[in-house]
Amino acid sequence: MRPFLKHICYLAALCLSVLSCKPCRNPQQTGCLPEIFPDYAGVTIPANIAPLDFEVSGAERLEMEISAPDGQSIKVRGPWADIPLKKWHRLTAAAKGDSLKFAVCALFEDGWKAYRPFGIYVSPDSIDYGLNYRLIAPGYELYSHMGIYERNLSNFEERPLIENTGFIGCVNCHSYCKGDPSFMSLHIRGDHGGTLIRSKGGELEACNTSTSETLGSCVYPYWHPGGRYIAYSTNTTRQAFHQSPDKLVEVFDLDSDLQVYDTHTNTLITAPSIKREGILETMPSFSPDGGRLYFTAAEHQPIPSGLTQVRYGLYYVDFHDGAIGSEIHEVVAPQEGSIAFPRPSYDGRFILYTKAAYGNFHAWHSSSDLMLLNLETGESRPLDEANSPDAESYHSWSTGSRWIVFGSRRDDGLHTRLYISHIDPDGRCGKPFMLPQKNPRKYYDCHLRSYNVPEFVLRPVEFDRVKAEKIINRPERKAFSFRWSD
């Protein structure tokens, strides 16, 4: 290109840049809230959360001022709200127990528009260090690239703990003891199958959790608060694929039982109360004091004809020092729906679960909603503040019992994305907010995998990926013994 043409092109680009950066002056006053993605208006957040970047739908660029109650503020300009990390955390710290105000102007083809300011409440309740989750193809039918990942909630850092690029298999069922990564259980399904278990202060071991007395390998782990025991289910599971766009995948159990693994004696323990003929017991969890073993259970139905009649209720048996109780206590009957994933809050006040029309694989059931059981009153209610018309699925509590994270397909009906809500001591739930991302529209347009099984962690997980891959690829597996509870 000739020098004068280069000069003309440079001047043209500069003029376009100047015009596009024309500041918001004399904007049209709309009197309404901006349409933003993600929708953060009116949410409750912890002070230590990553910046809530967003865009104004359809706008070429925006200008925004975020103000704290003490007068501090930051201004943001650009094609999306790219909020500086350090300045953001200074504002959230100043607004703790109060609200931040967001004043937004956006540029469209017909000029600038100014919107009614919206607030975001900054809770004094902090959130844990981070989340661990699985990323998988949204239809669950492709396992060529998947893994367990860790996200620092105070910024946008994500790292893989393990991916199945170093071995052939499916990684799933990752669990920690009340968010403490010193206690870890991670299952690998496939040719290199096994369960990686780490107890407090111990080394990671590859275990064969299947015995001659059980249905198969142990899944759906939940740690006892003392760190010695892990509750598991063993499931004979089948998967089917529908042609209907609103329900592409169906997963169901032909049989299932419960066991408790004693890490001190290397023994799987079960009892007649949690291993009954004709009953599907699954999805165990311990109460915060360790004295109860909660689980869901349903009566066998003929498959496939009776699949839509499979309805799980919520139950518990007593548990003390490895002894499993014989009396089964009903908590929530399987009426007008089916229960999955009971998760007690760590303060002992609530149990969060999902309820759908039938079955227990609720990620693809659009009828699936979050339900909150008040253990003091025995009453359950739909968590309407967090639910959507599409599927809400796997969920977990922060260790302080003031935050929940859950998967939802509310955005496009295909991909499961993570949402976080605040829950106060009385069970009131705040408007959920999407897990923050840098430049969220671009991120989610390019991110073609679903989030699965989010779990809070107190600190970064110490995990040697290379060492773990070597352990998985070796054929040796630690074997479990089996006994019936006394």
The CATH 2.60.40.1220 portion of the chain extends over 28-123
pTM here is 0.92
Collapsed DSSP state (helix, strand, coil) of residue 15: helix
Q: Where in the chain is the domain with CATH 2.120.10.30?
A: 130-473
Query: Residue 77's closest CA among 66, 93, 68?
Result: 66
Distance CA 211, CA 226 (A): 25
Q: How far, in Å, CA of 252 to CA of 354, rounded?
A: 16
Contacts of 428 (CB under 8 A, 6+ apart): 385
- In what order do the strands lie in the sheet containing 380-382? 338-344, 350-356, 369-374, 380-382
Instruction: Please report which helix (H) or strand (E) contains residue 473, including its range.
Output: helix 465-473
Supply the pLDDT for residue 459: 97
Extract the tokens encoding 59. Answer: 């706008």
Alpha-carbon distance of 468 to 196, in angstroms, equals: 8
**pLDDT (tens place) for every residue of the chain, 486 residues total:** 444 444 444 334 434 333 445 688 889 999 999 999 999 999 999 999 999 999 999 999 999 999 999 999 999 999 999 999 999 999 999 999 999 999 999 999 999 999 999 999 999 999 999 999 999 887 555 556 789 999 999 999 999 999 988 888 888 889 999 999 999 999 998 877 889 999 876 889 999 999 999 998 999 999 999 999 999 999 887 766 554 555 556 777 888 999 999 999 999 999 999 999 999 999 999 999 999 999 999 999 888 778 888 999 999 999 999 999 999 999 999 988 999 999 999 999 999 999 999 988 888 788 899 999 999 999 999 999 999 999 999 999 999 999 999 999 999 888 899 999 999 999 999 999 999 999 999 999 888 889 999 999 999 999 999 999 999 999 899 999 999 997
d(CA 42, CA 218): 42
Q: How far is CA 300 from the centre of its chain?
A: 29
| Arch. (CATH architecture) of 130-473 | 6 Propeller (2.120)
Determine the pLDDT at residue 4: 42
pLDDT at 143: 57
- The fold of the 28-123 domain, in CATH, is Immunoglobulin-like (2.60.40)
* Token pair for 240: 């089917």
